[in-house]
Homo-oligomer: A and B are copies of this chain.
Amino acid sequence: MHNQTFMRTYSPRQEALARKAAQQRDNQSFENLASSDLLTQYRIKSEPYYRMVADEIELYEAAYSVRMPIMLKGPTGCGKTRFVEYMAWKLNKPLITVACNEDMTASDLIGRYLLDASGTRWQDGPLAVAARYGAICYLDEVVEARQDTIVAIHTLTDARRMLPLEKKGEVIEAHPDFQLVISYNPGYQSLMKDLKQSTKQRFGALDFDYPEHDIEAEIVAHESGINLDIAKKLVHIAERARNLKGHGLDEGLSTRMLIYAGSLIYKGVQPLAACRVALVRPITDDPDMRDALDSAVTTYF
């Protein structure tokens, strides 16, 4: 079945990608010269702080080795964006992040013609840049984009790995380093806004959640500068608040919010005031919920 003729294009994905990457390395002298400036700004300059939770790093590396598109699932502020930054740094690939929104058109992703002194000039969009020169393209909160704009990524997420620039009449074959990553928060799924099955099935998925107690405290302490004791108190408060999710709170307190509170405390703000500003007031306007959260704060500080 491993017919040599087939092998030229339809051999197992990873072998083909390896071969292609090798070729690319040989004749990249010129093209990479042109693109090196462009991609430099998308490189992660130093190791981002990331605290491994389970086997997510290993699984991502395997997925990247076969260039499987990846979907990061989890609540807001639990570390999805930091994880993809860390992986881009670890794999030494440029990372192009796109914050998706409902007004984003396919042209915003793919590219458009701009008017120049000498007529129109084509400008690649972030997805086309990533596909052409070999970056990881991270579509943040992809469920915000119109479902049908998302269809534009389909040709990049199956065996074809190509991106037709219909307006330009060009077809980009994805660079062997290119990978597509998307994030989304299952809590926001609704009848109106969910990914279609034909999109979901094009991605492997990694689940994320708030880290467990000790790891989260370690992260909060590291990021805010406060000591581990105070960090643990903040995590205790967060855990109480997360139990209220669905019972008056739409979403629990995120790790990011704890870091905000810790930062204020580190700057000398009283813990009660810091928690009021950074944890309680942003998350709810309901007087009862505020009381419940405030009393959780006073339990620990």
Contact = CB atoms under 8 A, between A and B. Distances in A.
- How many copies make up the complex? 6
Contacts of A186: 285
Interface stretch (A19-27, A71-79, A292-300): A71-79
Interface SS majority for chain A: mixed
Interface residues of A, number: 119
Interface string A1-43: 1100110111011110000000000000000000000100110
Nearest to A250: B197
Given A101-B106, A105-B103, A48 B9 contact: yes
B55 A273 contact: yes
A67 to B, nearest CB: 9
A230 B236 CA distance: 45
A278 B59 CA distance: 10
Interface in A235-250: 250
B1 A218 contact: yes
Contacts of A188: 196
5 contacts: A13-B263, A197-B250, A201-B253, A204-B278, A206-B281
